[in-house]
């Protein structure tokens, strides 16, 4: 099958492209670095030529509601419109567990994206996953000020990005199925503990400053609103096992 991966150079997208290639699919990577801009539409029509399925793992890293909503609205509408013209048969999108609990920031953008996909003309599959293990170093980078790192109080059940990628390629192969069961990692954890473990493993001396985020987003983070419900699909690699792969690399 010919699969186009929107965001195929990103944290999970790289794994999606690699796994799809390993399984014998032809892969087209769509990202600005590859000459395709989902927001302006540049390069989309050409990239989607003869494509059967699109896996959308594009995204921006912003806490701004406006930026997130603007990005996911434009990117998803442009992508779906170009898919219709190109005759793409299946659109697979990745979203985040628990986003309905907080219609703000990045999650507001993801809710708009889900809505566009559900009401779009291209048959679809939607998978919500929890935060990737890689979310921990990303958070440290984004929230460090000198020797301090500000860590929100958050319960998370992180999963290996590679396992999420494999589930997305499975979904592409299975055909349109609507919303799949949520996918989370094997263990629920406090983000603060994961940050401390990552800092220790990577020999970084930073002081963790706990942060209680306000509003529905902060509440969802604190009270387990971003943890998958019982009966959800569960990944295998724990955060500690993922950390071992970093030190081995």
Tokens of 20: 């799809």
Binding of ligand NAP at residue 7 (CB under 6 A)?
Answer: yes
Binding of ligand NAP at residue 139 (CB under 6 A)?
Answer: no
**Near ligand NAP by CB under 6 A: residue from 1, 9, 224, 238:** 9
Is residue 77 exposed (0-12), middle (13-18) or buried (19+ Cβ within 10 Å)? middle
- Give the helix/strand (H/E) hosting 200: helix 191-201
Instruction: Give the CA count within 13 Å in the CB-facing half-sphere of 50.
Output: 6
Q: Which stretch binds ligand NAP (CB under 6 A): 26-34, 185-193, 200-208, 214-222?
A: 26-34
**Near ligand NAP by CB under 6 A: residue from 132, 198, 239, 242:** 132
Nearest residue (CB) to ligand NAP, 20 versus 94: 94
User: For residue 227, what is the DSSP state?
Assistant: S
For 10-19, letters b (16+ CB in 10 Å) and e give bbbbbbbbbb
Binding of ligand NAP at residue 59 (CB under 6 A)?
Answer: yes
Nearest residue (CB) to ligand NAP, 122 versus 136: 136
Binding of ligand NAP at residue 36 (CB under 6 A)?
Answer: yes
User: For residue 230, what is the DSSP state?
Assistant: T
Binding of ligand NAP at residue 157 (CB under 6 A)?
Answer: no
Binding of ligand NAP at residue 46 (CB under 6 A)?
Answer: no
**Near ligand NAP by CB under 6 A: residue from 26, 46, 61, 201:** 61
Binding of ligand NAP at residue 110 (CB under 6 A)?
Answer: yes
| Cβ 244 to ligand NAP shortest distance, Å | 20
Binding of ligand NAP at residue 38 (CB under 6 A)?
Answer: yes
Nearest residue (CB) to ligand NAP, 207 versus 249: 249
Alpha carbon of residue 12 to chain centroid: 7
Contacts of 7 (CB under 8 A, 6+ apart): 13, 30, 31, 56, 57, 58, 59
What gap in Å lies between CA 149 and CA 207, rounded to an integer? 6
| Cβ 205 to ligand NAP shortest distance, Å | 25
**Three-state DSSP class for 10?**
coil
Residues that bind ligand NAP (CB under 6 A): 7, 9-13, 31-33, 36-39, 57-61, 94, 96, 110, 129, 131-132, 135
């Amino acid at each position: 099958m010919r699969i186009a991966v929107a965001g195929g150079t990103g944290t999970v997208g790289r794994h999606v492209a690699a796994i799809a290639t390993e399984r014998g699919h032809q892969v087209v990577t769509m990202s600005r670095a590859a000459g395709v801009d989902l927001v302006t539409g540049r390069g989309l029509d050409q990239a989607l030529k003869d494509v059967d399925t699109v896996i959308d793992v594009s995204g921006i890293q912003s806490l701004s509601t406006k930026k997130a909503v603007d990005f996911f609205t434009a990117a998803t509408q442009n992508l779906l419109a170009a898919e219709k013209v190109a005759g793409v048969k299946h659109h697979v999108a990745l979203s985040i567990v628990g986003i309905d609990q907080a219609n703000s920031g990045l999650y507001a953008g993801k809710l708009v994206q889900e809505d566009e996909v559900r009401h779009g003309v291209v048959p679809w599959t939607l998978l919500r996953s929890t935060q990737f293990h890689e979310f921990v170093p990303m958070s440290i980078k984004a929230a460090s000020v000198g020797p301090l790192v500000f860590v929100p109080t958050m319960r998370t059940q992180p999963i290996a990005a590679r396992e999420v990628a494999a589930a997305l390629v499975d979904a592409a192969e299975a055909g349109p199925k609507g919303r799949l069961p949520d996918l989370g990692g094997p263990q629920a954890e406090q983000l603060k503990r994961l940050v401390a473990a990552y800092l220790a493993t990577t020999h970084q001396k930073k002081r963790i400053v706990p942060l209680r985020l306000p509003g529905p987003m902060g509440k969802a983070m604190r009270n387990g609103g971003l943890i998958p419900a019982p009966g959800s699909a569960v990944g295998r690699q724990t955060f500690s096992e993922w950390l071992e792969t970093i030190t081995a690399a």
